[in-house]
Amino acid sequence: MSLPYVIEPMTPEDLDEVMAIERASFPMPWSKRAFLSELSLPYSVFRVARPKRGNRVEVVSPQRRWLKRRSRPERPPVLGYTGFQVILDEGHIMTIAVHPQHRRRGLGTLLLLDLFEQARERGVRRLTLEVRVSNVAAQHLYQAFGFHLEGRRLHYYGDGEDALILWSEPLDSDETQARLEALRGRLLARLEAQGVPDPGSGDFV
């Protein structure tokens, strides 16, 4: 099956779309300046997901849903993104987000599968991240990838909420590779069954 999405490096030209998703996804979003700073670092890896060229997908600004839908046939829209830093043989996942209209369709899983592959290609042995205690949906996604709890940072976020510290199993272990292969197989079957989403169908809510 040919995937209806492509995942490629994030560029500064993507940041207006990235920022719209960022503000719709997090109570304390990153600034555009922070993204630009990370994109300039050789040890930071930021990627964006788009519909494959030829798959017509239109999106509405997450902030202003009443705006007229617009299409960019010359440049497919950003539907989600990830970012991580490589620190020696460890990878620190800094962000992952999906456009509100495209959630619960497997795109978060696809982005994480790509992140694991990118990390392994760069010699990363284990991945770590912080996640809000209240973000149960994200915790379930990470658990499916084999992340487990190894600590807690009290009042980690600017609003005072604690963060859970999660770590993956070794990326090159047989257990991790088998898990990733199973996740990939289930995702391919899901994407094949659901097809390319129609932005007018209401399936993104």
CA–CA separation, 143 vs 138, rounded Å? 9
CA–CA separation, 114 vs 111, rounded Å? 5
CA–CA separation, 166 vs 76, rounded Å? 33
How many residues appear in the chain?
Answer: 205
CA–CA separation, 106 vs 188, rounded Å? 9
90, 130, 161, 169: the catalytic one is: 130
- Residue 65's φ and ψ, nearest 5 degrees, are -65, -15
Please name the residues in contact with 42: beta carbons below 8 A apart, sequence gap of 6 or more: none
Spell out a b/e string for 68-92, using b for 16 or more CB atoms within 10 Å of the CB, else e. Answer: eeeeeeeebbbbbbbbbbbeeebbb
For the question of residue 81 being annotated catalytic, the response is no
For the question of residue 175 being annotated catalytic, the response is no
5, 17, 38, 142: the catalytic one is: 142
- Residues annotated as part of the active site: 130, 142
